[in-house]
Amino acid sequence: MHDLISQTIPDQALCIRHVGSTAVPGLLAKPVIDIDLTVPDPTAEPSYVPRLESAGFRLIFRDDVAGDAHRHLTFNEPNTNLHVWAPHATEPRRHELFAAWLRSHEQDRRIYAEAKRAAADVGDSRRYNDRKAATVYDIYERIFLTDPSHHHSPQPRTRPDNNLDDQ
């Protein structure tokens, strides 16, 4: 996918990074590749979206995450989510930190795998991310406490779990 993206929009692709569970060897993962793509300006869609669409990507939504413009495209085979961000966006940095942490912290990798398994076992895919959110939050707390480049004021959860089964 890296080559396809970089060859399709060489003038726009500032950074292409494999993120998500498939970027962590040995981690339980859905058969979906997640990629963060940094472009000069995600809101300047005419500069990159038509070319990505001609290569087989499909723009499925536009939104803002933490105040940063985000575009989400998909690709059919291999099943890929392409997340498009600006150079200053916070979320790609978080994705990078999360994957790197899981690659180097076996215990958190196991904890996250169990949260993913439990979330998937419920069977409601619409709530999958919600069901593992507490575990993700706890892991981010540990990551941010150890990252000297990330100013962080710890905010431990007051609720010990993320039980959404009753909702």
Distance (Å, rounded) from C-alpha 74 to C-alpha 158?
36
Domains of the chain: total: 2
Q: Is the pLDDT of residue 150 over 90?
A: no
pLDDT, tens digit, 9 for 90 and up, residues 115-142:
999 988 877 677 888 899 999 999 999 9
Which candidate, 53, 25, 34, 150, places its Cα nearest to that of 97?
A: 150
Same domain for 148 and 114: yes
pLDDT reported for residue 156: 67
Same domain for 132 and 59: no
pLDDT reported for residue 88: 95
pLDDT, tens digit, 9 for 90 and up, residues 10-35:
999 999 999 999 999 999 888 999 99
Burial of 112 (0-12, 13-18, 19+ CB in 10 A): buried
Q: Look at residue 97 and tell me if it is in a domain.
A: no
pLDDT reported for residue 153: 73
Confidence of residue 147 (pLDDT cuts 50, 70, 90): confident
Same domain for 114 and 64: no
pLDDT reported for residue 60: 98
Burial of 80 (0-12, 13-18, 19+ CB in 10 A): buried
pLDDT reported for residue 161: 52
Domain endpoint, select from 48, 64, 89: 89
Q: Which domain holds residue 35?
A: 2-89
Same domain for 30 and 64: yes
pLDDT, tens digit, 9 for 90 and up, residues 83-98:
999 999 999 999 999 9
pLDDT, tens digit, 9 for 90 and up, residues 39-92:
999 999 999 999 999 999 999 999 999 999 999 999 999 999 999 999 999 999
Distance (Å, rounded) from C-alpha 119 to C-alpha 141?
20
**Residue 71 belongs to domain with CATH number:** 3.30.460.10
Same domain for 83 and 109: no
Confidence of residue 163 (pLDDT cuts 50, 70, 90): very low
Task: Lay out the sheet containing 80-85: strands in order across.
Answer: 15-19, 33-38, 80-85, 68-75, 58-65
Distance (Å, rounded) from C-alpha 28 to C-alpha 21?
7
Same domain for 155 and 81: no
pLDDT reported for residue 167: 38
Same domain for 119 and 64: no
